[in-house]
Structure 1
């Protein structure tokens, strides 16, 4: 009986977190300490020799007298009765993995001598892309295997017959040669399976295989590119009804591949994630039969209509995620439907952001368990004071991007002592908080952009010493930054003080921010009145926007920088050579300063990841170096308003990103995930912005910057002809070569730039006729050919005749519509819209 209890205890402990905390040795009944077996200790040391341990992860492993008991080594756990090694857990934490503090090398077959090994976890390490060794399949007692994030892997054939395995995690392991998954069906004891982020597009039998795993309780197939399931044969399989956790998110599966078999599993499902698929139509009534459901995520799909009333009767439901759909309706009606049932007592997280809900927020005091409320980017309005102030358990509140109005006082927060994340940006709210207010909460994330809270710097922030993200941009502050504020900065990963009227100088920021923080600290202080030299900056910052201030001097080393914006300051000298080491730069904007000298060749040689480069409005001279042609990813190149001379390089056709006619991503930016609670992630994206001169005025591009393909060389001293190679850039949206000394005819190949919306060739020395191919650019919205030496008849076509005559002014030998002067041998000049004009167009086509 006692041996059975021991066996039961070991089986339970094997699959629990508690098991990993058990002490490795205990005394037996004769007070004899059970130590590890010599052969297994030597096997572990041989295994260690096959690894590269740059960070001392296995420093406790050794042969010295005080280290001989391998059961006390890090990650090793032994049987309390036999001394055999039962667990080897060398998983690298996500924190250390991000810092690249992990094991490398190969997996030694010495592990075969661990005869009683039940649990092997080598996750978040790097074994050089080598296949999983064949011997893994010979560890016959193995029950738990985790190789997630281990780099490219290939499973051994023997492993495929390992029928005792109960837990298999291959998440993020880029398996080679993944085709049929039939081998998985032989792992009949599997209770947990997670091959997430492995491409299973060629595994057309995935559904049939899953249907044969009758012991499964947890199935995670996130981002696997799963092929759709044919609904016609779903009913031929007896599906496991034991599944409690199912994650099919981010597979672009249609409703017909999900709903028919999913609802057969309904009564036992606890956690269900179908987000980021192609679910369409209204939310099916069949979800109401999932009586045990605790968490449901249907985010990022095409769902329409309202939220069904049956959710109000789902008494176990704790988290409901419906964000990023096309759901609509009065929000007050939705809350009324939910309030009428038992879900009002259980619901902890309500995620409805990025939909089309309308109206004010009704009183939510009945939702006493609510910890997270996400309503951002809807069409909600009204005031928010009394409706939310009674939610005492609230930790996460996001109301960004609605039309809320009114004043928020400290009374609103009087019951929110648990609040950690607060997003109120982009509404018409005013914060009226007393000077000496001390909040009950400690925030980690705070976004109040475009709320009214100036003119003084908010003193209550001094109490918030846990802040990781702070955005108080465009809030009307005209103050200087108090010294105490910089004491908060060491934990910040994002700081946005932009679009205020903050004055003064900055301290040494390299000393204020944590230079070892994963991902660095992103800083945006553009459009203020900071002055003096640019201080030393955090070397690990990925994003710095210091534009539209009064800075002078230069900067230090920024090895991790991806976006650097110093537009519109008082910077002078040659372009700082320290930037040549910033190989990860994507966006570099140094426009509207006083930089002089030549454009350095190292920009093209060292910064080949650049997407945006703006050097406009400086004092740069000499030729454009041909090395710029190495910028194959460049989408925006702006060298306008300098003193650059010489010819346009012919190799500009190497700008391959400008040869794509379409772009799927409208933004250029980077994102961060906020882990609200286990299983709940909130994604926050920071967008790059750029000032571009477009259609006669300077505008800021942010949410659509990724769609722009722009080449602007205007207002320089360039000469020679336009290289025909530029006509290969068929993705160009804007081409501005105006105010130079360019000569020769306009090449007929200009008609190949079919994406052009903006074309300015004015104030050059172009000669000859306007090519008829120009009339074929049907999308052309802005055209300027004025003040050149063009001659002949303007080609007939509704496009060219639709522009104002000023587009052609200063070309004395041009004739024809829309100019008033007639071409030779023309008896009259028909007006647009007349029959004669239509006939003229037909003649031109002939």
Structure 2
């Protein structure tokens, strides 16, 4: 009976289901329509985009974005994607008890928090609030959505509103979740280990946040994971080996973090992995050979780490690999030939490493390769001709290596090639004419090599698509017919340091934007057609030629143009430039006259203006303050007079200001204190006066302060030692400063050059000299000191070195100099001076210093120039001075030194006696005064200490130990000679006979 009842019920159920396919509810349920109306009223809608919702009594299942169940009428989906909605989310949504999908992404809720009540909608399968303008924390209540399959709370990279705070651990309870996207927010804190419990998760994207800490090993429990993206965070620590357990993983992106440690070999077990990106981290160690087990891998990016060791040959086992980037690491060794066996490889980038050896010919077998970059390594040998077999290659970069030999003619067979960069090598020989057949080539850079021979029309015969050409810094001879018309239209031409003059074919180039003909032996006056042609240029460099004549006035250029006309013979007035410029360098010419008052009217956007080394006169116009974008202003070495204009303080972005070697007078205007970005200030060699203006203390980024050779007076300000923590160069030379050297000045640990010479300073030299940390270490980095201006401004300084005034430019970063000469300083030379082990120039001459030269002066092993002359120093010259092996200039004259001059090592080469003149009690070479017999030779004292007390005992022991054997050997040598030489025996005996007779005669004479 029960069985019959069950079968009847089953029969009725089948009828209901079958009939239900043809039965639909006539509209949505009343309470759900009311909930939706309440929800709608809380929204701000800027258009009629929700016009279907306006009839509140209509069927809500037909409203835009609503999907209902076709039997029950329940609202299942609410999809309001990208409708620019704002306002608030009303809790009435909770009444939609059967809602499975809620998509409010790409709207504009203007920073409101995600409603906590969404965690009560237990039937939700898909929740998408991405880039909807929500902010604040992720509510932990979302962890109650046990049926959720997809959760998307991501933002875009440049969104105004994004989520923050830590990821709630409660999300680990979403056991059905398959996709979690929280990317590009401002989430912080560590990744909760609880996420490792999401056993159904297939996609996890937390990229583009501020997450920190290490990757929790618990994530290894995500057994269904296919995609993991944690890039662009602040994650650190090592990659957990547990990640190697993701057997289904196809995409792993941990790039742009702070991960360290080595790459775990366990990653080699990810046999399903197609994409692996660990770039832009701090990973170290070698690349594990286990990567060869990633049999499905199509993309591998380990670039911009600190990986070392050689490239494992196992990489050649990745038969599916299409993209391989190991660039900018510390990889060494040779390129494994096994890479040539990757049949699907399309892009190979090994640039920026320390790879050496030759390029393996096996790379020529990569028939699918489209991009190859091996630049900035230490590769040597010739370019293999087998490279010509890369028929699909579109880009080849072998720049900045040590490759030599000729460019193989086979390169001309790369018919798909679009970019060829062989610059910065040691290539020699001729450029093969076969390059002229690369009809698809758009970029050709062969600069900075030793290529020779002629360049003819054949080299460019079919280069109809060539866009960028750089043949600079070679030894090429351009043998082109004056009427030659190229097949190409270039946008960039760089032929620096070539012997070609002004090429007439340039006139045919209608679309050229950048032209560099620096140091190309152009002479005479530029033809007028050239200046009409420049109106299309964004960059023009004619520097280091012998061009004469005047510039067109006005000079017509494109807006924001880089113009370098320096080191020529241009004369006449400075022209006005129509449409403005971003950089104008007319330095080292013969321009004369004043700066035109209207010069600044079209130059408001000028970043760099250098007119150094001309014959410019008049005053600096106050209108220069209108050039508010100016980064560099260099008017040095001219005939400019007047005062420094107050309006110069309006150029608040100035990084470098150089007004040195002019005829400026008056005081430093207080407005210069507004230049808060200033890194270098040169006002030397003028007639400026007054006290150092205290407003400069606001220029806290100063690295160079050069006020030398003016008429400044008063005490050296103590605030210099506090206000300029990054100061490297301080030059107050040849002024009228008085008082003591402020100890605060010697607390600037970055100071490399301190020049206070030729002032009226008094008192003793402070013991705090030992605080000059930058002078304690050898400066090895050769670079321009000024940052932010590229190569537009080259720091320069004139120093008194080796008795001469020498100008330093690029090498100024290597100089360490302490010059306190020609003052009224007294007292002894402080012992702390000998701790400045990196010092190269030391000058304390022309003072009233007393006492001895420090015994440990020999510790200053890098000293090249040492001057203690014209003082009242006494005592002997320390023997340790002979240890100064770099010393090429020494002056100890006019003191009260005494004793023997040490000899040996470098002192032997300093044979000019004037070095020691004026010290009446000195003796020994190179002076003519010989020392007394009892003045024994002083051997060089060990640097940094005294001779040990028991040294004399050891010397006596050795002396007496050697006396006995020495006497015995001498005696038997003498006797042996007498036995063997008869003539010597006869002479010896006759000598004694004469001695006997002489003594007898003297005795008889004495008796008488």
Q: Same fold (TM over 0.5)?
A: yes
What 5-or-longer segments of structure 1 have no aligned partner? 1-23, 48-68, 77-81, 91-102, 674-683, 829-835
Give secondary structure in 1 for the equivalent of 2:293. Answer: coil
Q: 1:403 to 1:237 in 2, by over 3 A?
A: closer
More RCO (CA 8 Å, sep 6+): 1
Q: Report what 1:242 is aligned to.
A: 297
Task: Say whether 1:338 aligns with 2:411.
Answer: yes
- 1:616 is paired with a residue of what secondary structure? coil
Gap change, CA 1:440 and 1:766, over 3 Å in 2? farther
1:124–1:133 CA distance, 2 compared to 1 (3 A): farther
Q: CA deviation at 1:368?
A: 1.5
Counterparts of 1:590 and 1:719, CA distance in 2:
30
Q: Offset of 1:243 from its aligned partner?
A: 2.0
1:558-613 deviation line (CA, Å, top 9, x unaligned): 4333333333233333334333333443333333333323344555x444444433
Aligned residue among 927, 940, 950 for 1:820: 927
Give a deviation string over 1:471-514, Cα, whole Å, max 9, x none: 33223344444344365343554444333334453566665456
1:533 has 2:619 as partner:
yes
Cα distance, 1:307 vs structure 2: 1.5
* 1:619 shift after superposition: 2.8
Aligned equivalent of 2:363, options 287, 298, 307: 287
Change in 2 beyond 3 A, CA 1:773/1:325: same
Give the CA deviation at 1:37: 5.6
Output one character per residue of 1:690-712: Cα deviation in whole Å (capped at 9) or x when no partner.
Answer: 14344455555444333222334
Change (3 A) 1:532 1:567: same
Q: Secondary structure at the match of 1:357?
A: strand
Match 2:781 to one of 662, 665, 673: 665
1:651/1:669 CA distance change after superposition, 3 Å: closer
Question: 2:398 touches 2:423 (CA, 8 Å); kept in 1?
Answer: yes
- Conserved? CA contact 1:409–1:432, under 8 Å: no
Cα shift at 1:667:
0.8
Query: Paired residue for 1:451?
Result: 520
**Conserved? CA contact 2:676–2:701, under 8 Å:** yes
Shift of 1:532: 3.5
Contact 1:424 1:448 in 2 (8 A): yes
Q: Which residue is 1:711 aligned to?
A: 818
Alignment of 1:176-325 (within 5 A): 176-182=235-241, 195-202=254-261, 204-206=262-264, 208-209=266-267, 212=270, 214-217=272-275, 219=277, 221-222=279-280, 224-229=281-286, 234-235=289-290, 238-244=293-299, 246-254=300-308, 256-261=310-315, 264=318, 265=321, 266-325=342-401
Are positions 1:379 and 2:468 aligned together?
Answer: no
- Given the alignment of the two structures, is residue 590 of structure 1 paired with residue 647 of structure 2, yes or no? no
Using the TM superposition, give the Cα deviation of residue 166 of structure 1 relative to its aligned residue in structure 2, in angstroms.
7.2
Contact 1:104 1:126 in 2 (8 A): no
Q: Tell me the distance in 2 between the aligned counterparts of 1:565 and 1:799.
A: 39
Cα distance in 2 for residues equivalent to 1:25 and 1:664? 67
Q: Is 1:646 equivalent to 2:646 in the alignment?
A: no
Separation (CA, whole Å) in 1 of partners of 2:603 and 2:63: 53
Matched, 1:329 2:405: yes
Displacement of 1:297 after TM fit? 1.7
- Distance in 2 (CA, whole Å) between partners of 1:636 and 1:133 is 50
| Farther-moved stretch of structure 1 (457-466 vs 563-572) | 457-466
Q: Structure 2 matches for 1:552-701, cutoff 5 A?
A: 552=641, 553-554=643-644, 555-601=648-694, 603=696, 605-630=697-722, 631-657=724-750, 658-668=774-784, 688-693=794-799, 694-701=801-808
**Residue 322 (structure 1) shift:** 1.6
Q: CA deviation at 1:456?
A: 4.2
Whether the 8 Å contact between 1:474 and 1:497 is mirrored in structure 2 is: no
1:312 CA drift (Å): 0.9
Q: Cα RMSD (Å) of the superposition? A: 4.8
What pairs with 1:132-151 in structure 2 (closer than 5 Å)?
133-134=167-168, 147=184
Distance 2:851 2:727 in 1: 27
Structure 1 residue aligned with 2:203: 164
Distance in 2, matches of 1:308 and 1:136, equals 60
User: Structure 1 residues 731 and 531, CA, compared in 2 at 3 Å: closer, same or farther?
Assistant: same
Q: Structure 2 CA distance, aligned partners of 1:786 and 1:263?
A: 75
> Structure 1 residues 486 and 441, CA, compared in 2 at 3 Å: closer, same or farther?
closer
Match of 2:330 in 1: none
For the pair shown, the structure with the greater C-alpha radius of gyration is 2
- Deviation at 1:314? 1.0
- Whether the 8 Å contact between 1:501 and 1:529 is mirrored in structure 2 is yes
Instruction: Indicate how the Cα distance of structure 1 residues 573 and 87 shifts in structure 2: closer, same or farther if over 3 A, else same.
Output: farther
Structure 1 residue 378: deviation in Å?
2.0
* 1:246-281 per-position Cα deviation (integer Å, ceiling 9, x unaligned): 443343544524554256343333223222222222
CA separation of 1:368 and 1:742: change in aligned 2, threshold 3 A:
farther
TM-score of the pair, normalised by structure 1: 0.74
CA distance in 2 between counterparts of 1:251 and 1:438 reads 46
Q: Distance in 2 between matches of 1:362 and 1:401?
A: 18
Structure 2 contact 898–923 (Cα < 8 Å) conserved: no
Structure 2 CA distance for aligned equivalents of residues 276 and 509 of structure 1: 45
Find the counterpart in structure 1 of residue 488 from structure 2: 416
1:45-60 residue pairs with structure 2 within 5 A? none
1:366 to 437, 444, 457: 437
Q: Secondary structure of 2:420's match?
A: strand
In 2, distance between residues paired with 1:463 and 1:152?
55
Equivalent residues in 2 for 1:17-56, closer than 5 Å: 34=65
TM-score, normalised by the number of residues in structure 2: 0.63
* Counterpart for residue 4 of structure 1: none
SS in 2 for 1:310: helix
Deviates more, 1:179-188 or 1:274-283: 179-188
- In the alignment, structure 2 segments of 5+ residues that lack a partner are 1-47, 53-60, 67-77, 90-103, 112-123, 210-229, 322-341, 563-581, 751-773, 952-1008
